[in-house]
């Protein structure tokens, strides 16, 4: 065997970074042996079911439990009055507000939790729910956030009516939560005053729901003898969850164990701490037996973690060539009944100020006004970092609006405004330092791949032909994401910094176990992290086991959301592995009787420079590290733990292009082609990356083309089952074409940036831009999503396009 072939074979054996290693986690799932929360059955376990409010806004005049308690199998009915003695009828939120655990005197949204029925089995619990009699006095509801701050608007939150400030600045109205702003308003206003071209558009990101296939639920098990609480729960943040439970319950955090188990998709929906979890926990503490609570699908869509509901206004000022000179973006944010929006303490409107996107824009200002309405609380980031989809949707839509006003091509307007490759690191007007990027190259690669000029020619021909039964639209999105929260100097939740961690233990025969503070929900962490360690330590990925989600085992971390696993925990993994490698090198030098400086690393071993026959493999060093044959004073073992506090967030980017054909007579939008180029820096497992991009694009397609939570004027939810809420099937989901460039992140130990949310963030505006582009020649500059056939038909009809 030649030397190169031998090196290649050794490298392949590791299945490290850059290889499409098949997933380690699949073995149990393809056999139906996953272990999800709903699968758990414990002796004596009770089942909890929740009584929910039929009204969006009502006073509770009384609750009669008698009939429910008489129902066979029903053990107890818990209401706010039962939670009061343990001070858990209300709980603090991450947004500086409080939230009712069970409705206390008033309900503030339809389906709000009013009581929990505990019974010996599931069916009996639901029988009991039907028999709890609640006497309501209906009150006028606020559904439209634009009406929340009217002078005569009903006051929703009587419990905080005297609070002048919900930790994010003064409130100007009882239904006002906060006003948050960033940038330089005076400079932006001046830029608009002097600009030859200005554009303005009202742009809605409607209320949607992440809707993972598995709903939320838990099994709470309190052991009265030991005082230990174990909570098996659908959570993306097991460690922060444990901290919250300790804060709420007063139980020492060392006596609480949170277990994530297998999670059936999260997409942000499984970040918050929901009332159901808290009531089930109290119920277990009170009864001394395990209590299981599993949401129905209607509960899930109606009450847990919605997303968006940002009513935006975008304004750009530009010179006559379309070079942007000023940006003003504002949004009215509908936070629902309580301010339990998921956000870092210092960012009440999340990372909305990433809204300059991929463009070099001076004179920027943005503002978000958040208000209460009678809708479910708990806004989450649906497959994105906090409020990033909202921000990028605005800028990517406004770039098209500007192109139309200036009269230049939509690719060209982007080229003229991109941050140039040589400008990185580039600090935006809002203070974010984009660490790396190569936007022109990414866009050019996509345009070439799809023959953009040819597509525009075809479109022009169609537009010129009045007999064409279809409209053709071409959408472009050249987005920049902000992920990997985040540096502890700016990012914390409840005072806990958003660092993350990895602990690696190497066993004598070379097997490795790694434990992390993140929590996979399908992203393939067991495989990706193992590949990082395989490359760093020269031990085969097949022998590396990854564990997450059990707070008794894993070191502390902030969990998996905001594409933070690779940027933060991936970095921690590399750092921990390098600590081990450093120690192994010392052992190798000791064994080979050379100085450390005389050694070089080669795939899976340390070699003596200039003497290739003298080497020690990592596998050999694993065993030696467990003997007494070590350098003087060195302890046994090859273990390390790393807590990684990222110096900056990461900024993955991409260029997407979508071609749609729209039936003028039915409004049906057919996606002919979707080409997605992503740059997530160093690529650890290309197969998993592609899978994440496919999934993210499909969720973008869902949002752009069909998802919206509808309400009537009384606050009744009109679309909370899968009958009404759009989840694309295999039939309407387009085929995806993926591509990539690689611009490594300069501050990440591996150069990686995170990827799974980019396709969602970049995909939604790409679909919208394609649909609206189909009408652009008719003077249309904006249409609100979702672009359902009926809505698009309405536009065709209004424009008279459907006349034969």
Partner 1 sequence: MAKTQKVSFKLNGKPVEATVEARELLIYTLREKLAHTGPHIGCETSHCGACTVDLDGMSVKSCTVLTVQCEGAELTTIEGMEQGGALHALQQAFHEEHGLQCGYCTPGMITRAYRLLKENPNPSEQDIRKGIAGNLCRCTGYQNIVKAVQSAAKKLAAAR
289 binds partner 1 (CB under 8 A): no
If residue 481 lies in a helix (H) or strand (E), which one and from where to where?
A: none
Of 155-163, 346-354, 600-608, 729-737, which segment contacts partner 1 by CB under 8 A? Answer: 729-737
Task: State in angstroms the smallest separation of the CB of 69 from partner 1.
Answer: 16
Helices assigned H by DSSP within 171-296: 185-194, 238-249, 275-287
- On the question of a cis peptide bond just before residue 425, with omega within 30 degrees of 0, the verdict is yes
Give SS3 for 218: strand
Binders of partner 1 among residues 88 to 127 (CB under 8 A) are 122-123
Which residue's CB is nearer to partner 1, number 5 or number 30? 30
Which residue's CB is nearer to partner 1, number 267 or number 274? 267
779 binds partner 1 (CB under 8 A): no
Instruction: State how far the Cα of 272 lies from the Cα of 210, in Å rounded to an integer.
Output: 13
Task: State in angstroms the smallest separation of the CB of 298 from partner 1.
Answer: 9
Binders of partner 1 among residues 653 to 692 (CB under 8 A) are 687-688, 690-692
Question: What is each CA distance from 636 to 370, 383, 631, 650, 675, in whole angstroms?
Answer: 56, 43, 10, 37, 52
Task: State in angstroms the smallest separation of the CB of 109 from partner 1.
Answer: 22
697 binds partner 1 (CB under 8 A): yes
Place of tokens 């097991």: 238
Instruction: State how far the Cα of 12 lies from the Cα of 19, in Å rounded to an integer.
Output: 8
If residue 530 lies in a helix (H) or strand (E), which one and from where to where?
A: helix 525-537
Phi, then psi, of 190 in degrees rounded to 5: -65, -40
Q: Of 694, 714, 739, 789, which one interacts with partner 1 (CB under 8 A)? A: 694
Which residue's CB is nearer to partner 1, number 122 or number 672? 122
Contact pattern from residue 495 through residue 534 relative to partner 1, giving x for each residue in contact according to CB under 8 A and a dash for the rest: --------------------------xxxx----------
Which residue's CB is nearer to partner 1, number 51 or number 71? 71
Question: What is each CA distance from 690 to 212, 263, 523, 703, in whole angstroms?
Answer: 20, 21, 11, 20
Task: State in angstroms the smallest separation of the CB of 521 from partner 1.
Answer: 6
Binders of partner 1 among residues 540 to 559 (CB under 8 A) are none
- Write out the two tokens for 739: 């591509």
DSSP state for residue 562 in the 8-state scheme: T
Task: State in angstroms the smallest separation of the CB of 526 from partner 1.
Answer: 12
Of 180-188, 537-545, 585-593, 695-703, which segment contacts partner 1 by CB under 8 A? Answer: 695-703
Burial class for 718, CB neighbours closer than 10 Å (0-12, 13-18, 19+): exposed
Q: Of 81, 150, 155, 213, which one interacts with partner 1 (CB under 8 A)? A: 213
Active site (annotated) includes residue 384: yes
Task: State in angstroms the smallest separation of the CB of 498 from partner 1.
Answer: 23
- β-bridge pairing 113-119 and 256-259: unpaired
Measured over the CA atoms of residue 346, residue 348, residue 350 and residue 356, the dihedral's sign is negative
Which residue's CB is nearer to partner 1, number 297 or number 578? 297
Angle 510-499-348 from CA coordinates, rounded to 5°: 150
Which residue's CB is nearer to partner 1, number 25 or number 444? 25
- β-bridge pairing 46-52 and 113-119: antiparallel
23 binds partner 1 (CB under 8 A): yes
Q: Which of 531, 757, 766, 796 is catalytic?
A: 757
- CB-based burial, 588-621: b 16+ in 10 Å, e otherwise: bbbbbebeeebbeeebbbbbbeeeeebbbbbbbb
> What does 317-367 look like in DSSP terms, one character per residue?
EE-TT--EEEEEEEEEEE--SS------TT-TTTTGGGTTTTB---SEEEE
Angle 313-315-321 from CA coordinates, rounded to 5°: 155
Q: Which of 257, 383, 414, 564 is catalytic?
A: 383
Which residue's CB is nearer to partner 1, number 72 or number 633? 72
155 binds partner 1 (CB under 8 A): no
Active site (annotated) includes residue 383: yes
Which residue's CB is nearer to partner 1, number 124 or number 337? 124
Task: State in angstroms the smallest separation of the CB of 438 from partner 1.
Answer: 26
Binders of partner 1 among residues 240 to 279 (CB under 8 A) are 262-265, 267
Task: State in angstroms the smallest separation of the CB of 469 from partner 1.
Answer: 22
Cα 607 to the center of its chain, rounded Å: 44
Which residue's CB is nearer to partner 1, number 45 or number 246? 45
45 binds partner 1 (CB under 8 A): no
762 binds partner 1 (CB under 8 A): no
Task: State in angstroms the smallest separation of the CB of 39 from partner 1.
Answer: 4
Q: Of 296, 470, 488, 797, which one interacts with partner 1 (CB under 8 A)? A: 296
The partner residues of 717 in beta bridges, in order of sequence, read 711
Which residue's CB is nearer to partner 1, number 93 or number 560? 560
43 binds partner 1 (CB under 8 A): no
Which residue's CB is nearer to partner 1, number 33 or number 509? 33
Instruction: State how far the Cα of 762 lies from the Cα of 696, in Å rounded to an integer.
Output: 9
Instruction: State how far the Cα of 115 lies from the Cα of 131, in Å rounded to an integer.
Output: 12
Q: Of 6, 9, 27, 427, which one interacts with partner 1 (CB under 8 A)? A: 27
Contact pattern from residue 64 through residue 83 relative to partner 1, giving x for each residue in contact according to CB under 8 A and a dash for the rest: --------xx----------
Instruction: State how far the Cα of 785 lies from the Cα of 773, in Å rounded to an integer.
Output: 14
Judge contact between 429 and 186, C-beta under 8 A: no
Q: How many residues bind partner 1 (CB under 8 A)?
A: 56
467 binds partner 1 (CB under 8 A): no
Any residues with CB less than 8 A from the CB of 584 and at least 6 apart, and which? 537, 606, 618, 621, 625, 638
Task: State in angstroms the smallest separation of the CB of 709 from partner 1.
Answer: 16
Determine the length of the chain.
804
Q: Of 10, 13, 18, 36, which one interacts with partner 1 (CB under 8 A)? A: 36
Q: Of 3, 5, 32, 162, which one interacts with partner 1 (CB under 8 A)? A: 32
Q: Of 8, 9, 12, 28, which one interacts with partner 1 (CB under 8 A)? A: 28
Q: Which of 384, 622, 658, 745 is catalytic?
A: 384
Among 386, 340, 393, 383, smallest CA distance to 210 is for 383
- Write out the two tokens for 588: 């190798």
For the chain, helix, strand, coil in percent to 5 are 30, 25, 45
The partner residues of 553 in beta bridges, in order of sequence, read none
Task: State in angstroms the smallest separation of the CB of 23 from partner 1.
Answer: 7
Instruction: State how far the Cα of 618 lies from the Cα of 603, in Å rounded to an integer.
Output: 9
Which residue's CB is nearer to partner 1, number 32 or number 62? 32
Task: State in angstroms the smallest separation of the CB of 427 from partner 1.
Answer: 35
Active site (annotated) includes residue 23: no
Active site (annotated) includes residue 236: yes
Q: Of 90, 277, 293, 736, which one interacts with partner 1 (CB under 8 A)? A: 736
Judge contact between 155 and 149, C-beta under 8 A: no
128 binds partner 1 (CB under 8 A): no
- For partner 1, the binding residues (CB under 8 A) are 22-23, 25-34, 36, 38-39, 41, 72-73, 122-123, 211-215, 262-265, 267, 296-297, 521-524, 687-688, 690-692, 694-695, 697-699, 721-723, 727, 729-731, 733, 735-736
Residues acting as catalytic residues: 236, 383-384, 757
């Amino acid at each position: 065997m030649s030397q190169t072939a031998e090196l290649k074979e050794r490298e392949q054996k590791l299945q490290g970074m850059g290889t499409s290693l098949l997933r380690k986690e699949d073995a149990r799932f393809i056999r139906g042996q996953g272990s999800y929360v709903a699968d758990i059955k414990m002796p004596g376990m009770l089942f909890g079911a929740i009584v929910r409010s039929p009204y969006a806004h009502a006073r509770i005049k009384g609750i009669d439990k008698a009939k429910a308690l008489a129902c066979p199998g029903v053990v107890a009915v818990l209401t706010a009055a039962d939670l009061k003695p343990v001070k858990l009828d209300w709980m603090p939120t991450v947004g500086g507000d409080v939230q009712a655990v069970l409705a206390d005197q008033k309900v503030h949204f339809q389906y709000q939790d009013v009581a929990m029925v505990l019974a010996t089995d599931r069916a009996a619990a639901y029988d009991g729910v039907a028999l709890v009699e609640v006497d309501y006095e209906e009150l006028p509801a606020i559904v439209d956030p634009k009406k929340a701050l009217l002078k005569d608007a009903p006051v929703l939150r009587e419990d905080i009516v005297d609070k002048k400030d919900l930790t994010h600045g003064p409130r100007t109205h009882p239904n006002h939560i906060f006003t948050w702003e960033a940038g330089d308003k005076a400079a932006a206003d001046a830029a608009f005053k002097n600009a030859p071209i200005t554009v303005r558009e009202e742009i809605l990101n409607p209320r949607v729901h992440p809707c993972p296939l598995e709903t939320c639920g838990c099994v709470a098990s309190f052991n009265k003898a030991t005082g230990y609480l174990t909570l098996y729960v659908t959570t993306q943040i097991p460690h922060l969850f444990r901290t919250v439970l300790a804060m709420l319950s007063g139980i020492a955090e060392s006596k609480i164990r949170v277990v994530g188990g297998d999670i059936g998709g999260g997409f942000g929906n499984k970040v918050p701490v929901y009332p159901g979890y808290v009531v089930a926990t109290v119920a277990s503490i009170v009864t001394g037996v395990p209590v299981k609570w599993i949401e129905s699908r209607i509960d899930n869509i109606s009450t847990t973690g919605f997303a968006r509901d940002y009513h935006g206004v975008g304004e750009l000022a530009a010179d006559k060539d379309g070079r942007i000179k000023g940006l003003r973006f504002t949004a009215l944010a509908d936070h629902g009944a309580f301010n339990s929006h998921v956000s870092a303490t210092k960012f009440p409107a999340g990372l909305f100020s990433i809204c300059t996107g991929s463009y070099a824009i001076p004179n920027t200002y943005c503002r978000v006004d958040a208000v209460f309405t009678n809708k479910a609380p708990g806004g989450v980031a649906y497959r994105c970092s906090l409020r990033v989809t909202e921000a990028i949707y605005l800028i990517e839509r406004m770039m098209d609006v500007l192109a139309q006003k200036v009269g230049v091509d939509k690719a060209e307007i982007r080229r003229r405004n991109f941050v140039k490759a040589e400008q990185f690191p580039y600090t935006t007007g809002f203070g974010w330092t984009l660490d790396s990027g190569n936007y022109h190259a990414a866009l050019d690669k996509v345009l070439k791949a799809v023959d953009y000029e040819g597509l525009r020619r075809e479109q022009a021909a169609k537009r010129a032909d009045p007999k064409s039964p279809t409209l053709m639209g071409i959408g472009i999105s050249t987005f920049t994401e902000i992920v990997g929260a985040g540096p502890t100097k700016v990012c914390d939740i409840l005072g806990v910094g958003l660092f993350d961690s990895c602990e690696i233990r190497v066993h004598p025969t070379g097997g490795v176990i790694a434990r992390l503070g993140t929590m996979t929900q399908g992203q393939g962490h067991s495989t990706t992290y193992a590949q990082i360690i395989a490359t760093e330590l020269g031990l085969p990925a097949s022998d590396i086991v990854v564990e997450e989600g059990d707070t008794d085992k894993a070191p502390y971390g902030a969990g998996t959301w905001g594409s933070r696993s690779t940027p933060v925990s991936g970095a921690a993994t590399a750092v921990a592995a390098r600590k081990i490698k450093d120690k192994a090198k010392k052992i190798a030098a000791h064994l080979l009787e050379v100085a450390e400086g005389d050694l070089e690393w080669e795939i899976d071993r340390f070699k003596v420079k200039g003497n290739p026959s003298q080497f020690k493999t990592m596998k050999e060093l694993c065993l030696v590290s467990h003997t007494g044959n070590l350098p003087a004073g060195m302890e046994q073992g090859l273990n390390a733990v790393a807590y990684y506090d990222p110096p900056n967030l990461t900024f993955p980017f991409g260029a997407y292009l979508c071609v749609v054909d729209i039936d003028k007579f039915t409004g049906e939008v057919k996606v002919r082609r979707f080409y997605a180029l992503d740059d997530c820096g160093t690529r650890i497992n290309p197969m998993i990356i592609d899978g994440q991009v496919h999934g993210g694009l499909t969720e973008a397609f869902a949002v752009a083309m069909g998802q919206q939570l509808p309400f009537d004027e009384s606050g009744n939810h009109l679309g909370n089952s899968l009958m009404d809420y759009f989840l694309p099937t295999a039939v309407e989901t387009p085929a995806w074409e993926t591509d990539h460039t690689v611009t490594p992140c300069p501050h990440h130990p591996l150069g990686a940036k995170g990827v799974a949310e980019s396709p969602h963030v970049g995909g939604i505006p790409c679909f919208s831009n394609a649909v609206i582009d189909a009408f652009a020649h008719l003077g249309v500059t904006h249409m609100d999503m979702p672009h359902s056939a009926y809505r698009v038909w309405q536009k065709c009809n209004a424009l008279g396009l459907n006349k034969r």
